[in-house]
Amino acid sequence: MCVNETINEILAWIKIGKKVYLEKEKKSIGIIMTYDAEKKNVMVASFPLDMESEEVRNLTNSEEFRNALYNPRKRGVILIDVADYSTGGTLYQASILSLMNGVFKQLKFSLNLMQPSDVIEQFIPTGDGCYIIFREEYNNDFHKGLFSIFSEVNVYQKRILADIFKREAIDKKISIRASCALGETDVFYDVNGNKNCYGPGLNEAERILSSGRKALEKGTGPRSSTDTIFYDGSVRNQMEKIINEMQKITPAHKLMVKNLGKLPDKHKNMREIWSFSGFSQHMAFYLKNPAW
């Protein structure tokens, strides 16, 4: 098979959604095909090529190839869960989605303020919440975005009440809970051509939230876990630092940090999880700030 035929075959696989990666030692391009569950082995089709040729360089530098390239990076992941989302009907859920869309648009704007580059890699709606994947240059700071999220949820509801419905207060606001983790993620494009993310970082954020919530709610009910952040050892040092600063800034708030212990997930894997609550929901931080 000539070079152009090989390149066309690689592009054909890319067009139907296959991930590719560079096998530089083998001087080839690999197409990730599937997973052999019996042998527990990733099955890859390799295409030997002269990686220094002009044709191959043009391929690997193309946007189409770069979008399909297997290139996992460690990134910060925040998972937002809207309390009581599944308890209502379609119109109720539409109202929650309408609220959260407004919150996330404002959040994206506010987080990018005073930053040298875009902060967020991708939003991934989950139905009852959203994953927020941060760009890797914010790995040491992304957790500060948690407080902007809680603040935006609170402020956005009040703004709608005041501006649209001329009400100053609400007895029961929409509440959220969240988790954060630092883990490996990668980007892919789905069948509709939309950018998306996958990887263990997203799995970890979900398991931290699920396990932490279950432990905190035991004997107390689901409302005991709202307005709470759950995290693991991957971000413990960053969280402790900002919690200590918050204690100085808002001494009137009874900040509560609980070590929930080593908790099992649905796969029986154990991880140590902490919860944090009692913080002001009128507080936000710049992500990159020399003072932190």
pLDDT value of residue 170: 60
d(CA 281, CA 288) in angstroms, rounded, equals: 20
pLDDT tens for 159-188 read 887 777 776 666 667 889 999 999 999 999
Task: Output the furthest CA–CA distance in the chain (Å, rounded).
Answer: 73
Q: What's the pTM?
A: 0.90
pLDDT tens for 77-134 read 999 999 889 888 999 999 899 989 999 998 888 888 778 888 999 999 998 899 999 9
Q: Where are the domains positioned within the chain?
A: 3-68, 73-277
Contact indicator for 244, 289 with CB cutoff of 8 Å:
no
d(CA 12, CA 47) in angstroms, rounded, equals: 13
Chain-centre distance for alpha carbon 57: 33
| Arithmetic mean of pLDDT over the chain | 89
Token digits of residue 54: 């002009």
CATH superfamily, domain at 73-277: Nucleotide cyclase, GGDEF domain (3.30.70.1230)
Instruction: Tell me which amino acid residue 51 is.
Output: M
Count of CB atoms situated within 10 Å of the CB of 98: 11
Q: Which residues pair with 69 in a beta bridge?
A: 20
d(CA 230, CA 179) in angstroms, rounded, equals: 4
